[in-house]
Amino acid sequence: MSTEAKILETYPVATIATIGRHAGETVTIRGWLYNKRESGKLLFPIFRDGSGLIQGVVAKNAVAAEVFDAVKTLTDESSVIVTGKVRADQRAPGGYELDVQNVEVVQRVAEDDPFPITRKEHGVDFLMEHRHLWMRTPRQAAILRVRSEIEKAMHDFFDDRGFIRTDPPILTPAACEGTSTLFPVDYFDEQAFLTQSGQLYIEATAMALGKVYSFGPTFRAEKSKTRRHLTEFWMVEPEVAYLGLDGLMELAEQFISHIVAGVLERRRADLQVIGRDIAKLEAVKPPFPRITYDEAVKMLQEGHSKGALETKFEWGGDFGSPDETYISSQFDRPVMVHRYPAQVKAFYMEPDPKRPELALCCDVLAPEGYGEIIGGSQRMSSYDLLVQRIREHDLPIEAFKWYLDLRKYGSVPHSGFGMGIERAVAWICGLEHVRETIPFPRMLYRLYP
Ligand code: 4AD
Ligand code: MG
């Protein structure tokens, strides 16, 4: 077989993640050299193929002289096709090693221009500037596998419960979450904006299909430089007709529990590579504590008198990051805070009939100080009140004509929430910053690569 044909061969293919199925057999791995060490007549190259890492053993007397020399001088991240026999080894990190018979170098990284990411410490700016290469390193690759698992678990969750996925537009004529964080786009002769949330549109698809969800990129032009904010992030949003706030909280609680369980079941090894404290995730089971905004405020004020919080929180304000961090660190699992003052929330939320100054809404705060991962609410069902709110929020009423139609033609109570995938990944992986949760993060000062 020509080298070309071998490179592109699709079957049979062993991947490192599933190499255990081939114990005792000779397999071919197509990947890259991660790194290597040497001990006399033995070379120990570590190969990666995107699914994991495996150590090879190259014995001088077991391979052709050219192969031994090629591996001995091989540069990190050179691409290789490796043939060898799989041997179970309890001391090996993945449980297996490869007794190498042959190594074909597909492309050799030049000695005078080596792979920039080395095993020494690099600064964050350097890593971000080399994000396209940084993501090859084991911890970063593990995070991206966990992200993919979270997305799969989320699709399965909704699919199993009869939700229909509907995709809202990204180019929109108006704000959903408030005008201060819109990215403007020239749209021929009109002004358009990148969407902040698919919500308003999936309220329409929910009236057509009952239970729907969307998953797509959303944009916020926030000038905030925090470890929780991206300017472009992926939001998953369910929206359900005939659902109230209590049902919504139940849905959120089941949703998060399902995702965490899926990651624990299928991505445990990756969590270990990342260094996640797995016991903390195992505690994430329903029921989640539910507290009102009023109770949360009390908690913050107590925190202030204990000296844990600098400023005294006053009723009526929105929680900042330190407040959320403090509240969430009081619990070992996500906490649901409901019924915030309507004045700090979006225009579309249904008021609490018992106390109309409150909105029937809920934020889910992740434990270990991660703060808000979900925001959701029951939606306003009255046409007249919605018109009033749109006016109060200084939003252009013409752009919302279609949205108001939903309250004219068979309006029903309905609810939904949005979860930013990156915040969920950061929490589940135990990361300090959301910049590592997405292949190419977009932030206030980061548009490259
Ligand atoms: O709380 P938010 O703004 O709610 C909405 O957009 C609703 N329309 C969603 C709905 O009810 N369908 O955003 C929802 C979630 C947050 O809880 C957070 O996880 C994430 O989106 N999020 C961000 N993630 C990263 N960077 C940002 N700048 C984010 N802003 C919000
Ligand atoms: Mg929110």
SS (H, E, C) the chain: CCHHHHHHCCCCCCCHHHHHHHCCCEEEEEEEEEEEEEECCEEEEEEECCCCEEEEEEECCCCCHHHHHHHHCCCCCCEEEEEEEEEECCCCCCCEEEEEEEEEEEECCCCCCCCCCCCCCCCHHHHHHCHHHHCCCHHHHHHHHHHHHHHHHHHHHHHHCCCEECCCCCEECCCCCCHHHCCEEEECCEEEEECCCCHHHHHHHHHHHCEEEEEEEEECCCCCCCCCCCCEEEEEEEEEECCCHHHHHHHHHHHHHHHHHHHHHHCHHHHHHHCCCHHHHHCCCCCCCEEEHHHHHHHHHHHHHCCCCCCCCCCCCCCCHHHHHHHHCCCCCCEEEECCEHHHCCCCECECCCCCCEECEEEEEECCCCEEEEEEEEECCCHHHHHHHHHHCCCCHHHHHHHHHCCCCCCCCEEEEEEEHHHHHHHHHCCCCHHHCCCCCCECCECCC
The residue to mutate among 423, 436, 437, 446, having the most atoms of ligand 1 within 8 angstroms of its beta carbon, is 423
Number of Cβ within a 10 Å radius of residue 142: 21
Query: What are φ and ψ of residue 225, in 5° steps?
Result: -110, 80
| Minimum CA distance residue for ligand 1 atom 20 | 420
Full-model pTM: 0.96
Query: What are φ and ψ of residue 368, in 5° steps?
Result: 60, 30
Query: Is the CB of residue 230 below 6 angstroms from any atom belonging to ligand 1?
Result: yes
Beta carbons of 192 and 185 less than 8 angstroms apart: yes
Cis peptide leading into residue 169 (ω within 30°): no
Lookup: tokens for 257 = 């529990």
Query: Is the CB of residue 220 below 6 angstroms from any atom belonging to ligand 1?
Result: yes
Give the relative orientation of helices 321-328 and 293-305 as an angle to the nearest 10 degrees.
Answer: 90
CA–CA separation, 136 vs 49, rounded Å? Answer: 10
β-bridge partners, 282: none
- Measured from the alpha carbon of residue 176, the closest ligand is 1
Query: Is the CB of residue 177 below 6 angstroms from any atom belonging to ligand 1?
Result: yes
Residue 349 C-alpha to ligand 2 middle, in angstroms?
12
Position 6 scores a pLDDT of 61
Query: Is the CB of residue 422 below 6 angstroms from any atom belonging to ligand 1?
Result: yes
Ligand 1 atom having least distance to the Cα of 199 = 12
Residue 133 C-alpha to ligand 1 middle, in angstroms?
29
CA–CA separation, 443 vs 226, rounded Å? Answer: 9
End-to-end CA distance of the chain: 38
Query: Is the CB of residue 375 below 6 angstroms from any atom belonging to ligand 1?
Result: yes
Position 1 scores a pLDDT of 47
Query: Is the CB of residue 421 below 6 angstroms from any atom belonging to ligand 1?
Result: no
pLDDT in tens, 204-243: 999 999 999 999 999 999 998 999 999 999 999 999 999 9
Ligand 1 atom having least distance to the Cα of 222 = 28
CA–CA separation, 114 vs 109, rounded Å? Answer: 6
Location of structure tokens 């190594």:
103
Residue 132 C-alpha to ligand 1 middle, in angstroms?
26
Query: Is the CB of residue 197 below 6 angstroms from any atom belonging to ligand 1?
Result: yes
Residue 29 C-alpha to ligand 2 middle, in angstroms?
45
Query: Is the CB of residue 68 below 6 angstroms from any atom belonging to ligand 1?
Result: no
Report CA Rg, the chain.
26
Query: Is the CB of residue 235 below 6 angstroms from any atom belonging to ligand 1?
Result: yes
| Minimum CA distance residue for ligand 1 atom 4 | 375
How far, in whole angstroms, is CA 186 from its chain's centroid? 30
pLDDT in tens, 385-418: 999 999 999 999 999 999 999 999 999 999 999 9
Query: Is the CB of residue 233 below 6 angstroms from any atom belonging to ligand 1?
Result: yes
The residue to mutate among 203, 223, 229, 235, having the most atoms of ligand 1 within 8 angstroms of its beta carbon, is 235
Whole-Å CA distances, 100 to 29, 42, 62, 104, 438 = 10, 11, 8, 11, 35
Residue 71 C-alpha to ligand 1 middle, in angstroms?
49
Pairing relation of β-strands 53-59 and 96-107? parallel
CB neighbour list of residue 130: distance below 8 Å, 6 or more residues apart: 116, 117, 449
Per-residue pLDDT of the chain (449 residues; tens, 9 = 90+): 455 556 565 555 689 999 999 999 999 999 999 999 999 999 999 999 999 999 999 999 999 999 999 999 999 999 999 999 999 999 998 899 999 999 999 999 999 999 999 988 999 999 999 999 999 999 999 999 999 999 999 999 999 999 999 999 999 998 888 888 999 999 999 999 999 999 999 999 999 999 999 999 999 999 989 999 999 999 999 999 999 999 999 999 999 999 999 999 999 999 999 999 999 999 999 999 999 999 999 999 999 999 999 999 999 999 999 999 999 999 999 999 999 999 999 999 999 999 999 999 999 999 998 999 999 999 999 999 999 999 999 999 999 999 999 999 999 999 999 999 999 999 999 999 999 999 999 999 999 99
Query: What are φ and ψ of residue 71, in 5° steps?
Result: -70, -40
Residue 372 C-alpha to ligand 2 middle, in angstroms?
7
Location of structure tokens 């599933």:
18
Query: Is the CB of residue 199 below 6 angstroms from any atom belonging to ligand 1?
Result: yes
- Determine the Cα angle at 176 with ends 172 and 182, to 5°: 65
CA–CA separation, 288 vs 258, rounded Å? Answer: 13
- Measured from the alpha carbon of residue 371, the closest ligand is 1
Lookup: tokens for 154 = 């989320």
Query: Is the CB of residue 238 below 6 angstroms from any atom belonging to ligand 1?
Result: no
Residue 377 C-alpha to ligand 1 middle, in angstroms?
12
